[in-house]
Structure 1
Amino acid sequence: MAPQHEIRASYDATTITVYQAYSSAIADAAVRAGRFVPPFSFNRMTWIKPSFLWLMHRSNWGRKPGQERILAVRITREGWEEALSQAVLTTSASVADAPVHVQWDPERSVRGAALNHYSIQVGIGRGLIRTFVDSWIVELTDLTPSVRKWSALVQSGRPARLPPERVYPLPSALASRLFRH
């Protein structure tokens, strides 16, 4: 049986892909610049999600207002693990002062049904957003055209080739911080 909490993601030896949904204004500017620039806000927390299907559930496959564009954000594993090393669970009393928030939500099936294991969402606070944008991001890709195709396939009951995900090998010190409840 799979653990209740595990990080599933697309990753390679040096990077991990996380997903975010934005308005066209934010996505267009970011894709053009190859990094986040205004109108992206550097003054509020930004949430990154390594689970593609969780973001599809959250954004309704890019159909929710303000979440019409789906970006794949490839970041360094070093940056990802740095964020996690500063994270506090949103259920913790000290969450308000934390630079990074971690929340576990039910993972989703391709049709959006809640599964019996949890997916991580990571909130990068104002104090780390510039580091996230300037140092951790390796590549931004607009997945919106692919998401539209995949959504149509899923709705018609046909298989879609979604981004592959596997269990991320989290160092044990980080795992003990993130998996306790």
Structure 2
Amino acid sequence: MKLKTKLYKEQLKEWPQTGRHIMAQFDEEKVIVYQSYRPEIGHFAAKNQFFGGAFSLSRMTWIKPNFLWMMYRNGWGTKEGQEVVLAIHLKRDVFERYLDKAIYSSYQPNIYKDREEWQEAVKNSNIRLQWDPDHDPYGAKLERRAIQLGIRNEDIEKYAKDDILEIEDISEFVKEQYQHVLNNKLDNLIIPEERPFVPKSKTTYHQLKLSGI
């Protein structure tokens, strides 16, 4: 596994506890995002290093840069249809582009002039944005907010084959670490190393209503 990992308890001391933050593992080249699929789709993607086969290009797909948010969503890979957990090494410039183009999935009166303007923006954008409560390893809600991005149309076609540097199947790692959660031994829990990601565009920073670092 190529992901950098670190003890959860050590990271907890360093992370912001409140506010909106894009928690992620990243460098100058890439940003790691997570998705979970049924074996037919997940195994194809890991083996062929692109999304194809039973993967649908006609429906929106959601990516999450925050590992623990993904674990909350897929039940640590135990939910039906989400057994294969993928760590996707997405090109950083692509992730930045998603953030620049993202439109909120719900109306934001302090951003859009009115609902009509927002609905028009939704219709013309291929990227959706949602802020949700982040979660701890047990699935409890936190005050910190976590981001997820939805991709559709032409952007999903590029995402499936052109925008990804590497796809890792981390299902076994997830299963191993879930045992620490089940046994209430969070001192032993290891997860991908993450820190707040700050977009290059100041306009995007303010549009996302990110909290100060």
Q: Which of the five TM-score ranges fits, normalised by the shorter chain?
A: over 0.9
Q: Equivalent residue of 1:84, what SS? A: helix
Q: Does the residue aligned with 1:167 lie in a helix, a strand or coil? A: strand
CA distance 1:2–1:113, change in 2 (3 Å): closer
What residue is the counterpart of 2:26 in the other structure?
A: 11
Residue 178 of structure 1: aligned partner? 208
Match 1:89 to one of 104, 113, 123: 104
Aligned identity (percent) is 32
User: For residue 10 of structure 2, what is the aligned residue in structure 1?
Assistant: none
**Which residue matches 2:51?**
36
Q: Does 1:110 align with 2:140?
A: no
Task: Look up the match of 1:120.
Answer: 147
> In structure 2, which of residues 184, 190, 206 is the aligned counterpart of residue 161 of structure 1?
190
Paired amino acid for 2:144: H
Superposition pairs for residues 14-25 of structure 1, below 5 Å? 14-25=29-40
**Higher relative contact order structure (alpha carbons within 8 Å, sequence separation ≥ 6):** 2
* Structure 1 stretches of at least 4 aligned residues deviating more than 2 Å after TM superposition: 92-98
The answer for the alignment partner of 1:48 in structure 2 is: 63
Give the TM-score normalised by the residue count of structure 1. 0.94
Cα displacement (A) at 1:127: 2.3
Alignment partner for residue 66 of structure 1, among 63, 78, 81?
81
Count of residue pairs brought into register by the alignment: 180
Structure 2 gaps of 5+ residues are: 1-15, 108-117
How far apart are residue 110 of structure 1 and its match? 1.3
Q: CA deviation at 1:96?
A: 4.2
Q: 1:75 & 1:151 partners in 2: Cα distance?
A: 25
Larger radius of gyration: 2
Deviation at 1:32, TM superposition (A): 1.1
Give the unaligned 5+ runs of structure 1.
none
Answering whether residue 172 of structure 2 is matched by residue 145 of structure 1, we say: yes
1:14-61 deviation digits (Å, cap 9, x = unpaired): 100000010000011111101111211111111000010001001111
Output the CA distance in 1 between the equivalents of 2:127 and 2:42: 23
